[in-house]
Structure 1
């Protein structure tokens, strides 16, 4: 378990993390999300004792990271996949890590098998692709068989098969009762992998909730309705607090009525419906909506062309 309480980190006049409190619980894959510059990397470095908090405290399994007698057996982390000696083979890189923590050589062979590097285990890490480097970094994180795993952007450089592999691996580790914290910018992958989310922006907590609740909070209270008789249905739905609009495809967008109520009104009036879909925001939509004010460097809108096709 990871516990952060009033965690703050300042670099001169810049505050990277401000009064941040959260708990990462075992048995779940927790996604750690935020725009660029949100303070995610700084927070993870403070969890691992690489940066000292200006104030506040963070503990892993009840202690600060540095207080553990054998940290690699408590916490496995990958913050930078390329932090390897490029002249060493994958197996020698892992053996060097194992020696520092009194880990048996047999465990090195075991994790090489887990991450799928057995065929290249004796090749120099400097010649590895980005995806292979990611697998080696994950092997290092798993080396001590830790109860807590922290990974920063673990799917970068992986092909579809590799992405599926890391997804299943993270879920399996959580199912064993481990604490799993994963930072990623790939919202579609987080939607499939994470069960809980910690979202920060400008160093402050935005959300600490389940994926389901996070997306629900950003979903519009509207229902898409398609019928061959929209002119009949539309006036039947109208009323106080109800807004009915049509999109470019002729589908009615109804706000202020539940899908159950719309279906009942249509049935009572013998109007056939071909679609009745409550709007549910995707994780990407929810993330963009709830972090809009926390983006440090917003992307400018592309220039718009006028009626003559000239860019304004």
Structure 2
């Protein structure tokens, strides 16, 4: 007979937030936030500055106590796991290390708390590329080296679930490619991977699913493909030597609009998808050089969706020419 407190199989390797709220006096940093992060895919956790991402991540691992709601990791609260490093690897502040210790001794001290063997410390040192500096004091590490040490700490217990806050911060191009491939490979093994980042271009290459919040509230919980599709204009970019004829045929269709620049081979079509345009061109023997749906980038989709949720918005100012200032 199963223990009543045992997590069910479907709860394994999942992050679940249910009605999470966090208030600091009159300010609500996170408001009734619910989502589930499932294994097998990298999930990006996005939001403008001040959206509540870091507060949410801290609540997931018990560093902040929710004002209401709760979160479970692999079916239990973080504090209820007997050996949490084996269940959840978290990097919320990569530089939270004893600066006088070497990278190796920092990891060795963490390993000792969970009975993790020395050989595992050796493995993660090699995995994150710190072998040459493992015996040096962590206080002298660059930002990128500190990030690698933080990731090594998160991976130390070989956990089923990973929570990483801005893991590519400070990494060079080689390091960014490395962490991208690492996260994808971990997800492919069936692990649950939640990653926050401000680099939309990197999230577009790494994540398959997105959780987007703004002002502490859930804005979107969807795939990257669906997220960008919803923000796309629906226009199709067409290039053809028969632009004038094709444009006329398209304008005769109900609900279709065509923008064309005089003397060019380019049409911008809205109200008809690429398949419909291609079939129409084929029926009339017209040549097509290009037929491209105008897909929004992840950055464009993010900016559009979070437009009203930006807490700290910069103001564009202009500087008067020097002679005018002098006057």
Following superposition of structure 1 onto structure 2, how do residues 1-312 of structure 1 map, counting pairs within 5 Å? 1-238=14-251, 239-246=253-260, 251-301=266-316, 303=318
C-alpha displacement of 1:283: 1.1
Q: TM-score, normalised by structure 2?
A: 0.89
Structure 2 unaligned spans of 5+:
1-13
Q: Is the partner of 1:6 in helix, strand or coil?
A: strand
Post-superposition Cα deviations, 1:129-161, rounded to whole Å, max 9, x if no partner, equal 111111000000011111111100101111111
Partners in 1 of 2:16 and 2:49 — Cα distance? 23
Report the Cα distance in structure 2 between the residues aligned to 1:298 and 1:235, rounded to whole angstroms. Answer: 44
Which runs of 5 or more residues in structure 1 are unaligned?
Answer: none
How many residues were matched structurally?
Answer: 306
Secondary structure, aligned partner of 2:289: strand
2:113 aligned counterpart, secondary structure: helix
Deviation at 1:303, TM superposition (A): 4.6
Contact 2:242 2:265 in 1 (8 A): no
Contact preservation (8 Å) 1:202, 1:294:
yes
Q: How much does 1:285 deviate?
A: 1.3
List structure 1 runs of 4+ shifted beyond 6 angstroms: none
Q: CA RMSD in A?
A: 1.8
Question: What is the rounded CA distance, in whole Å, between the counterparts of 1:115 and 1:215 in structure 2?
Answer: 32
Answer yes or no: is the 8 Å Cα contact 1:247–1:253 preserved in 2. no
Cα distance in 1, alignment partners of residues 316 and 247 from structure 2: 35
The superposition leaves residues 239-261 of structure 1 with CA deviations (integer Å, 9 ceiling, x where unpaired) of 33111113697621110011122
The one-character-per-residue Cα deviations of 1:104-131 (angstroms, maximum 9, x if unpaired) are 2221111101111111110111111111
